[in-house]
A and B are shown apart, each in its own frame.
Chain A
Amino acid sequence: MTLMIEAEDLCKKFRVTRRRSGLLGGLRSVVNPEVRIVPAVNDLALKVERGEIIGLIGPNGAGKSTTIKMMTGILTPTSGRVYVAGLVPMRQRRELASRIGVVFGQRTQLWWDLPLLDSLHLLRHLYRVPEERYNANLKRLRLMLDLDEFIHTPVRQLSLGQRMRGDLAAALLHDPELLYLDEPTIGLDVVAKARIREFLLSLNAEHETTILLTTHDMDDVEMLCPRMIIIDHGRKLYDGSVAEIRARFGGERMLIAVLDAAEVAALPRGDDGQPRLPSLPPGVRQVQADGPRLWLSFGSAGSSTMPAHELVAWLGTRYRLHDVTCQEPEIEDIIRRIYEEGLLLKNL
């Protein structure tokens, strides 16, 4: 496997001139500007292999966009090295542009007043796609993204989901090896989101397109990205799988067991007057009870405590188990705790 993206010690510092207030202040700002250096990306190292799907997440202002801009050649790094598809983005921007695709979820690259098909046709010329390849790609994308129902409609009349499908087609006409997606599912309904994700997965499977996406939707990451990178304050905080971060920070999982009502009524009571299951296996705690429903917390995935299926079996041999559901800790919660409590900062 070859590297699609390789970044080392990548830094971007912005010079921000602060305007002083008032007329005199304004004059002083011109003569003697108050310049602050704001680091947006700090010593970022990143290796992405061909064919990977990677989720880049982080709170607003974490440096995700700056990173992507440096990797596309829009922005010059202050220091450090970055190679994308073997090219130096800044020096070979236009060559790189014909080998990558970029979709901004909040901004379309389609021509607002024109039918989708006209935009796609124009992009063929902007990217110099040979006619045969264009026709083949268009045919395939029309099918995969179901474009036919609205391909003759002016873009301004499309729904957000349709427009997103149109934008994906627009970014893929020239067979890019690498696709950057900036919040590809933002504002979409559940069905439209699922559809976009499904498409990205098959694109990656069939064409080995490397996909790097930024998102605030952890479902995107869970469903699409075997690997995710968390950035905050311009630093990489985490680089690994979703499952691993869950195991490290997710804490405990929850098993909700529905027992027989009569059986629960016969259970001994705890200090709070609620029914309690006696002599639970080590590592398992009863958290809550509500009628026949009992909440049992147990170890996180991969830890040494009792696995879920054994806990269910344990319950099944002792009680008349009606139903069980297992709740993973919400990844959203974990990520929020990582941002707010700086859980990963001590690793640095």
Chain B
Amino acid sequence: MQIISWRAVLHDMLLYRRLIALQIRAQLQYKINVLIDIGTYLAVTVLEFGALLLFFGPFPSLLGWKIGEVALLAAIMSISFGFAEMAGAGIDNFSDTIRRGEFDRVLLRPVGAFTQVIGSDFRLRRLGRITQGTIAFVIALRLLPNLHWTAAKLLILPISIISGAVIFISILLLGATLCFWTVETTELTNMLTYGGREMLSYPITIYSQTLQRFFLFVVPIAFGSYVPTCYILERPLPFGIPSSVAFAAPLVALVFALVAGIVWSFGVNRYQSTGS
């Protein structure tokens, strides 16, 4: 593996900012279009959230979780996932990039493939889900009037939202890597991203222990939503894990992203030897 040069990393980050700025500018050429897109997406995600709350009509609690607590969990999940969808759109579309032969162009430029791929799209319409998450967060706070906030709890919010987004983007990257072998991989990735988001909008203790372990230790999506929510609600974690592990979310996300990155560069090498 190559030695990380901080100057190169800085350059790539500045470049990413420029690529994204350009994407945003291009999308804002059609302002009304973007607003309608965001509005539609907001409506769809609000409906999803409403369906989740409807569960609490007949049943007052879910394994001891009350409506406000599940709303908080779902809100954090929505915001985190919304950011991942917005920033990871270029990775999500990677199968198109391959199919259209545009990946050759990526390799012809003196910039890392990952920076170019993630910088190739930035989906403003995903602001709809982030807005829904924010609304859901406010509703959750109204439903939880006795929630005691501390500085640590406030700090855990941005930390886990960003970590969760990084984990989701890493899943997208793993899915994109599969495109080097076969182009029909979108369903597999969707299962982990959309499926994972859907499942983890509920407390993971409702699932089997295998699934709980999977979402905590294998594909650690729980670190972006369930773990920090338990920390905020002062609930115990399964398997006797201390709740302060919530602060390890960035580390967990980093390790997962690193694994995804290694697999990705393996895929790029494979592309270069097969040309397909």
Contact = CB atoms under 8 A, between A and B. Distances in A.
Interface of A: 14-15, 66, 69, 72-76, 90, 93-95, 97-98, 100, 102, 104, 107, 109, 111, 113-114, 118, 122, 125-128
A320 to B, nearest CB: 62
Contacts of B148: none
Contacts of B18: 122, 125
Nearest to B17: A125
Contact of B109 (A14, A104, A127): A127
A194 B108 CA distance: 27
Interface of B: 11, 14-15, 18-19, 22, 25-26, 29, 101-102, 104-105, 107-112, 116, 272-275
A114 B108 contact: no
B111 A126 contact: yes
Contact of B107 (A15, A73, A128): A73
Contacts of B29: 113
A94 B110 contact: yes
Given A75-B272, A76-B273, A94-B112, 14 more contacts: A73-B272, A74-B275, A90-B272, A94-B110, A97-B107, A97-B108, A97-B110, A107-B102, A114-B25, A118-B22, A122-B18, A126-B109, A127-B109, A128-B11
B101 A107 contact: yes
Contacts of B14: 125
Which 3 A-B residue pairs are closest in the complex by CB-CB distance? A98-B110, A113-B26, A97-B110
B106 to A, nearest CB: 9
Contact of B272 (A66, A76, A97, A98): A76
Contact of A69 (B19, B111, B112, B275): B275
Contacts of B273: 75-76
Per DSSP, chain B at the interface is helix
Contacts of B111: 94, 126
A128 B111 CA distance: 10
A126 B15 contact: yes
A207 to B, nearest CB: 20
A95 B110 contact: yes
A113 to B, nearest CB: 4
A74 B110 contact: no
B22 A93 contact: no
A80 B59 CA distance: 71
18 contacts: A14-B274, A66-B275, A69-B104, A72-B108, A73-B107, A73-B272, A75-B275, A76-B273, A94-B112, A97-B107, A98-B110, A100-B108, A102-B105, A107-B101, A111-B26, A118-B22, A125-B18, A128-B11
Contacts of B275: 14, 66, 69, 74-75
Contacts of B15: 125-126
A306 to B, nearest CB: 52
Given A14-B275, A69-B104, A74-B104, A114 B26 contact: yes
Contacts of B101: 107
A69 B111 CA distance: 17
A115 B11 CA distance: 24
B182 to A, nearest CB: 11
A255 B107 CA distance: 52
A127 B272 contact: no
A122 B116 CA distance: 12
B61 to A, nearest CB: 47
Contacts of B272: 73-76, 90
Contacts of A90: 272
A174 to B, nearest CB: 9
Nearest to B104: A74
A251 to B, nearest CB: 39
A122 B19 contact: yes
Nearest to B273: A76
Nearest to B14: A125
Contacts of B25: 114, 118
Contacts of B11: 128
Nearest to A102: B108
Nearest to B100: A107
Given A14-B275, A125-B18, A74 B107 contact: yes
B22 A114 contact: yes
Nearest to B18: A125
Given A74-B104, A74-B108, A128-B11, A15 B26 contact: no
A17 to B, nearest CB: 11
Nearest to B11: A128
Given A66-B275, A90-B272, A107-B101, A97 B109 contact: yes
Contact of B110 (A76, A102, A127): A127
